[in-house]
Amino acid sequence: MGQGIMICSLSKLTSNAGSSGGDMTFDIACGMGAILVSIPTSLASWKHAPILPKLSSVAFCHLMRQDLCPGAFALISPSVRKLNFSIKSVHAWPPFDEKLRFVFSRTFDAAPQIEGIRLELLPTRLGAPLLQAHCSRVRHIEVFPQLDFEDLAALAELPALQHLSVSLDLKPSTPEVASVLVFKSVTTLAIKGIWTELSRALTAIMRLLVLHSLVVEGWHHGDPAAELARDATECFRTISGHISVTSLSISTDYGRLPENLNTGCVMYGIADVEMPLLDFMHPLLSLSALRDVSLSFPVYFNLACTSSDLRAIAESWPALEALHLLVAEYRADADSFEFKLHPSGGPLEAIAHFARHCPRLRILHLSAMEMGQDALAAAVGLLGPALVSYQDRPRVSVDVHISSHTS
């Protein structure tokens, strides 16, 4: 009897195995464990047609200390294009690392055309030589653990890499300008971390020669809002140096805790800071090539948005095709502990600026806007010509939350 291979999505595999079309996906765990399907070891010498010729992706879920099942790799056909290497390596143990590298290598031997990888372990655990030997065709890499300079360096030399998704944990001793990492082919970067580390990465560590799409998630870890606002604006100044960017997404989250804070109770709520919207995000206005923008700012940034702010945005980004600008949509009532609508998107008539200055705009999503009863007639008169111009554009979507606020 052969060693076991666990197929996690058994029903999906079974339902597609006999069909004439469509791709198949299955998850496997090498080693001895819960045996759902028994794979004969003789499959290791299989030399005939692929067993699963339509297989498109493979996910390794778990790696046991026991010997691997060599027959499992016979199930991986050349048609595989995505590898989810979900094996977590928490403890540094040389025999385990060697087994990780063996599994990784055997997978690419069986499916050399893999284009996308998701890693649940640090790239340095596999090693730069192994990555360079097998990943010359890989275009998309997502790494879940937080990376330091050495881990980024292990990815920088991959010649076909176009889409990179990482989160950061840069050590204070991380090399600076003298050791800039050049990413020659990355066009899309999704990066997460605290604002100061994001700024360091985008200025002193990573040189992105052909970047067009940037996704940024800033973590706050409960720090004071005024400090976060300052660090975020500095990060925006760094982002403004990437003038070739046409797609930009910025959001915030509490983020993963540093190791030294990974115990005990942590307060999530932080006091807000009040400031004008343009004072906060003005460095981004220099990115005149932007076409697709999504900016989602948290409640603790109490940003005042005016008609002149939205006009400056519309005039600075004439190539806009889609804009999502969400500014602290809701604020809590300290007395009743209820959430009430807080109009933070500026006056409603200000959307006319986008109709005048952004001829390609198809999607406009703004936060709750102010619409006082006394201003209704004036707003209709101002918006009339602008909305007519919107109607002449195909597939226009205007999603504006209107507040019932009265002036």
Residue pLDDT, tens place only, 281-293: 999 999 999 999 9
- Digit-coded pLDDT (tens) for 192-222: 999 999 999 999 899 999 999 999 999 988 7
pLDDT in tens, 8-22: 432 233 323 334 444
Distance of CA 205 to the CA centre of its chain: 19
Could you give the percent of the chain with pLDDT greater than 90? 45
Amino acid 199: pLDDT = 96
pLDDT confidence tier of residue 84, bands split at 50, 70 and 90: very high
Where do we find the tokens 């030997």? Answer: 133
- b/e sequence 189-226, b meaning 16+ C-beta within 10 Å: bbbbbbbbbbbbbbbbbbebeebbbbbbbbbbbeeebb
Better-predicted residue by pLDDT, 261 or 238: 238
DSSP per residue, 87-144:
----S--HHHHHHHHHHHHHHHHH-TT--EEEESS-HHHH-HHHHHHH-TT--EEEEE
**Residue ranges of E strands in 202-284:** 206-208, 213-219, 247-253, 273-276
Q: What CA–CA distances, in Å, run from 308 to 358, 377, 386?
A: 15, 20, 17
Which tops the pLDDT comparison, 176 or 208? Answer: 208
Residue 73, pLDDT > 90, answer no
Q: What's the pLDDT score for residue 348? A: 77
Percent of the chain with pLDDT over 70: 66
Identify the pLDDT of residue 134. Answer: 96
Query: d(Cα 327, Cα 366) in Å, to the nearest integer?
Result: 8
pLDDT higher than threshold 50 for residue 372: yes
Q: Identify the structural domains of the chain with CATH numbers, from first to last.
A: 1-114 (no CATH), 212-256+269-407 (3.80.10)
- For residue 180, pLDDT beyond 60: yes
pLDDT by residue (tens digit) across 41-54? 656 556 667 777 88
What is the phi/psi pair of residue 365, to 5°? -125, 110
CB atoms within 10 A of CB 61: 17
Residue 87 and residue 63: Cα distance in Å, rounded? 6
What's residue 28's pLDDT? 52
How does residue 328 score in pLDDT terms, banded at 50, 70 and 90?
low
- Comparison of pLDDT for 26 and 132, the residue scoring more: 132
- Whole-number mean pLDDT of the chain? 78
CA dihedral (139, 140, 145, 148) positive or negative: positive
